[in-house]
Structure 1
C-alpha cells in the first residue's frame, strides 16, 4: 500500500464533509437546471451505440478515514485515498464485455480481461469464457465488486483466505437456479509480477429462489494454488495468511501466520449462503485453507467464518444477479448493491460478526473475532457514503489487543 497521509482527528472528517457538500451541491445544481435530467444516475461518462454497444470510463474513487481507540497505542489515525481505479470498458450486452482498469493508489492492476458470451457469439449457449486478469472465486465477499461491499472492509477470514486476482482463463455456466464457474489461472506471475505459480479453482451455487427481492443462494468453492518462483533455488517458496482488524489504512495485523517457508501448495475451500427477502438480507461464509509444505516442515491449517445481516430502512432490496450481489456481468454495467427509489437516496444498516483462527500446532498466528455495525447511504447509482464501527478482540500468545475502530468512506463510482 502507498504511504498514508495522516490527518488530525478534526481535519479528516472535515475533508469528508467538504466532499459531501460538493457532491450534494452538484446534485442540487443538476436537478435545478434540467427537469428531465437525473444527476444521480445519468452521468455522461459513456456512449451507447444503436446496437447496444456501450463504451466508457471505468472509475472507482474511495476516500477513507480510520480512527482508533482502546488500542494500546499500536494504531495511528489515518485518512487517505483507499482506491483510485481508472480504466476503460467496452460491452455489448449478451455478446461480450472487456475492461482494463488500474489502481493508481495501490499501483497495481485491477480487472483487465475480455469475456465472451457464447450464446451471442456462436448462437449456442455453452457458457461464458473470460481471458485475462480477474478475481479468483473462493471468497464470496472477495468476489463482490469493491464498489458494492456492504462494509468498508471485508471480514477477517476473507482477508486471510481469499487469493485475490490472477491471470488465466475461466468458464462460467449461468442459469437462473444454478451457477458453475471453473478457472485455470496459469500465468506464472500475475500482471504486477507477483504471486508466481498456478491456480485451479471452481465454484458452484444452487439458487432455488431467484427473483427481484427474493433470493436464496447456497454455494461451495475450492481452489488449489501451486507455488512456484522465477528464481528457483535462491529463495524457497512461501505462503502467509494474515488479516487487519477490518480496517484498511493501518499496516498492523493482530493475527498473522508469519512466513511459512518451503510451502508447496495452498488449498482453499468456501461454503457460502445468501438470503434476501425484501429490505432484509442475511449473508455468511465459512472459509478454510491448508498450506502443504516440504523439507520436513509441518503443514498448516486455518479457518474462519463471518455472518451479517442488513436492513434497508427505505424499503429497497439488495440486487442479486449471476451469482453475486450488485453484479450485472453480461447485461449492463455493474451497479450499486442498493438501487435507491427515493430522490434523497437509500439508507441501509448492517451488523456483522467475523472470526479467524490462525493458530495451528507450534505456529501461534493468533485468534480474532470482530463485531461491526454499519450505515450506508446510497445516492443514486454513483455516490455512496459509509460509516462503520468495529469492536475487535484478538489473542496472540501473551498479547491481547482489542481496538475500537471508527471508519468513514466517501465513494464515487461509474
Structure 2
C-alpha cells in the first residue's frame, strides 16, 4: 500500500487549516466511535565528517557527497474512542511504506491503566521506544534502543497498574508489514514493570525493568548500529549474520528523574543470543552484548514534564509565540565484542575469530530543540563518534585504497567521525 504525493498533500493541508491542530482532528462519530485524525511529518539533513568508513555510502547515497537529506517520516493515523470502553487505532507511514500501531484496546472499568490490547503495538521493553516519536529528545534514538529494543509487533498485551506504577505482559509474533527474510524477530514474549515513588508536577522519579525473550527467525541474528545518525549508510559496529541461533533474550533497566525544567534519564540493556551446539565450536558459542546511555535535557523556557504509563510526556510551550527551547546532551555506548582472535598461520593469511567481534562504539550527542507554537519542532544535533572494530583481512582482499592494505591486515581499526544533523517536524 502506497499513498500518492497528492493524497499526502491533501492530508497535510487539512491539518494546516484545522483549528487547534495540536490535538487530533475530530472527523465524525461512526458506530458510536469518535473518530479523529493525527499526523507526523519529519524531514532530516545529515552532514558527515567521515574518518575511515564513508558514512554516506550505499543505497541512494552513491553520489560522492558528504551529506544526505530525506523525508524521514510521513505518518497518518486514525483513532477511535468507543463504543463503550473500546479504543482503536490504525496508523500508516507513507514514507517507509509500513503499518504503525494497528490495534484495539479494551479498558477494564474504563481505567486507562488496566486494559487488554490486540493487534500491532510497541512492545514493553524500552522507555525511549515507548515514548512518542515526535517528542524524542535527540534526532536519532539511542544506540541501545535501535539495536536491542523490540518495537511494534503483532500480538496481545495486558497492563495493570495505577498512575505511579504498572506491570505489562505481552506475547508477540512478527511485524504486520512483511520484510525480506530473515525478518528481525520470531515469536516471543515481553514483560515490563515501572514504578514512580515520586510523581508530582515538576518532581518525578521513575524506575523500570524489562525482559524480552523470542525465537530467532530462520536461526539467524544480526546486530548492528549506525553511528547516532539515521541517514548514515554504514554501520560502524556489526556482528554480521550469526547463524545456528535459537533464541535472543534481553534484560533492560531504566531510570528517569525530573526536577522542574531538568530531565535526566538512562537505560541499559544486555542481550544474549543462544546458539545450538552443532559440533563447530566457533558457531556454537552463545553471544553476549550490551549497550546503555545517559542523557540530560534542560527546558530553558521553564516548562516541565508529565508522566503516563511509565514514560515522560512533553508539554506544550508556555508561550506559544516564542516557543519552548531545550538543550541537551547524551552519552551512548555499545559493545558487540564477544570473542577472541586466533593468530594467522602465515603473514599473508587472515586471522580467525573464535566467537563474534562486532566492535565497540561510544558517541556524544549535543543538541538544541525548539518547539514553536503547537505544531512545529526544529532540532539541531552534533554527534562525536569513537569506534573500533577488528578487521580480519588478507593483503589480497582488495580494499578501497590498495596502499592501505598492509596497515589493515588483522587488527582493530579505529573510526572516529563527526556528524551534524538537522530536523524539521510538523505534527497535529
TM-score range, shorter chain: 0.7 to 0.9
Partner of 2:268: 286
Change (3 A) 1:129 1:314: same
Aligned equivalents of 2:226, 2:77: Cα separation in 1: 28
Structure 2 residues without counterparts, runs of 5 or longer: 3-12, 57-66, 340-354, 391-411
Aligned-pair CA distance for 1:313: 0.4
State the distance in 1 between where 2:271 and 2:83 align. Answer: 37
* Alignment partner, residue 326 of structure 2: 348
Are 2:259 and 1:277 aligned? yes
d(CA) in 1 for partners of 2:205, 2:363: 26
Q: Aligned pair in 2 of structure 1 residues 286, 125: CA closer, same or farther (>3 Å)?
A: closer
Task: Give the alignment of 1:114-263 within 5 angstroms.
Answer: 114-120=104-110, 127-185=114-172, 187=173, 189-193=174-178, 194-195=183-184, 197-229=186-218, 237-263=219-245
Matched-pair contact (CA < 8 Å) for 2:27–2:37: no
1:358 aligns with one of 317, 336, 344: 336
Cα 1:48/1:217, change in 2 over 3 Å: farther
Does the 8 A contact of 2:223 with 2:238 survive in 1? yes
C-alpha displacement of 1:39: 5.6
- Residues 350-406 of structure 1: CA distance to partner in whole angstroms, max 9, x if unpaired? 110010000001311000000001111112332111111100110112221111111
Offset of 1:125 from its aligned partner? 8.7
Q: Which residue matches 1:381?
A: 374
CA–CA distance in 1 between the matches of 2:257 and 2:189? Answer: 28
In structure 1, the partner of 2:364 is 371
| 1:242-294 alpha-carbon deviations (Å, 9 max, x no partner) | 11011111221001111111110000110000111110110001111000011
Secondary structure, counterpart of 1:249 in structure 2:
coil
Structure 1 residue 165: Cα displacement: 1.5
Q: Aligned residues, how many?
A: 361
Q: What residue in structure 2 maps to residue 331 of structure 1?
A: none
CA-to-partner distance for each residue in 1:319-349, whole Å, 9 max, x for gaps?
32121122xxxxxxxxxx2321102210011
Secondary structure of the corresponding residue to residue 135 of structure 2: coil
CA contact (8 A) 2:303 2:318 kept: yes
- What's the counterpart of residue 39 of structure 2? 59
Q: Which runs of 5+ in 1 are unaligned?
A: 3-22, 31-36, 230-236, 327-336
Deviation at 1:42, TM superposition (A): 6.1
Take 1:153 and 1:125, find their aligned partners in 2: how far apart are those partners? 30
**SS of match in other structure, 2:187:** strand
Task: Give the conservation status (yes or no) of the 8 Å contact 1:139–1:161.
Answer: no
Distance (Å, rounded) in 2 between the aligned partners of 1:83 and 1:138: 23
1:259, 1:159 → 2: CA distance?
Answer: 17
* 1:40–1:383 CA contact under 8 A, matched in 2: no
**Residues 163 and 42 of structure 1: is their aligned pair in 2 closer, same or farther, counting only changes over 3 Å?**
closer
Scaled by the length of structure 1, the TM-score of the pair is 0.81
**Alpha carbons of 1:325 and 1:93: their partners in 2 closer, same or farther (altered >3 Å)?**
farther
Say which SS state the counterpart of residue 413 (structure 2) adopts. Answer: coil
Q: Which residue of 2 aligns with 1:85?
A: 75
Q: Check the 8 A contact 1:94/1:117 in 2, yes or no.
A: no
Q: Could you tell me how far apart the structure 2 residues matched to 1:410 and 1:106 are?
A: 17
> Could you tell me how far 1:41 is from its partner in structure 2?
3.6
Task: Name the CA shift for 1:286/1:370 in 2 (closer, same or farther; >3 Å).
Answer: same
The alpha-carbon distance between structure 1 residues 171 and 343, as it changes in their structure 2 partners (threshold 3 A), is: same
Give the Cα separation in 1 of the matches to 2:33 and 2:311: 23
CA RMSD for the aligned pairs? 2.7
TM-score normalised according to structure 2 size? 0.79
Structure whose CA Rg is larger: 2
Offset of residue 94 of structure 1 = 8.8
1:223 Cα offset (Å): 0.9
Aligned CA distance change for structure 1 residues 92 and 389 (closer, same or farther; 3 Å):
farther
Distance 2:200 2:81 in 1: 24
